[in-house]
Amino acid sequence: MTSTVISSILPFNSEKINDKYLVTNMMGCWDALNEKEFHQLHSMRVLEGGGLFNRLLERGLIVDADNLQRVIDGYRSLNANLFTDTSLHIAVVTKRCNLRCTYCHAEGGASSEDMSIETAGRVLQYLFDVRNNSVTLEFQGGEPLLNWPVVKFFD
């Protein structure tokens, strides 16, 4: 038994901006409609095969058998971050800083809160275990170079 996909208007959000209606859906698809077009869409009276129907079909606001896979692929791409680990990781290697910026949380002088080589090794192990092909490690804290041995270890 084969099933057929008939055309469907996907759930949408709208906002009137000046004299147009911005219509968007959870797939990331959108179009700007004039008042007449918006009322046709809102009342679910878009005529199949008409100019508005074809435009909304092309834009992914209406789905049928021909564009279903494209819309699904677009949704997967838009939400790919839900299926992989984060790419940006931050390591605070020290809270020490040789400056005294009024807006900063870093502390001046000596601190026992410097990251150790052992902890840096655990950070690296974690990064190697991340399920993401593109990982960025950002150093933050005070002035990271004040804990040069750990920064060099990450190299």
- Proportion of the chain above pLDDT 90, given as a percent: 52
Q: Has residue 1 been placed in a domain?
A: no
Q: How many domains, the chain?
A: 2
Q: Has residue 43 been placed in a domain?
A: yes
Same domain for 92 and 74 = no
User: Global pTM?
Assistant: 0.53
Q: Mind listing the pLDDT tens digit for each residue in 67-95? A: 889 888 888 888 887 888 888 999 999 98
Among residues 56, 80, 104, which one ends one of the domains? 80
Same domain for 73 and 42 = yes
Number of other CB atoms surrounding residue 33 within 10 Å: 21
Residue 15, domain extent: 8-80
pLDDT at 6: 64
> Element (H or E) spanning 15, and its range?
strand 13-17
Interatomic CA distance for residues 105 and 103, integer angstroms = 7
Q: Has residue 3 been placed in a domain?
A: no
Look at residue 17 and give its three-state secondary structure: strand
- Vertex 102, ends 96 and 104: CA angle to 5°? 45
The answer to whether 52 and 7 are in contact (CB under 8 A) is no
Same domain for 142 and 122 = yes
Same domain for 75 and 44 = yes
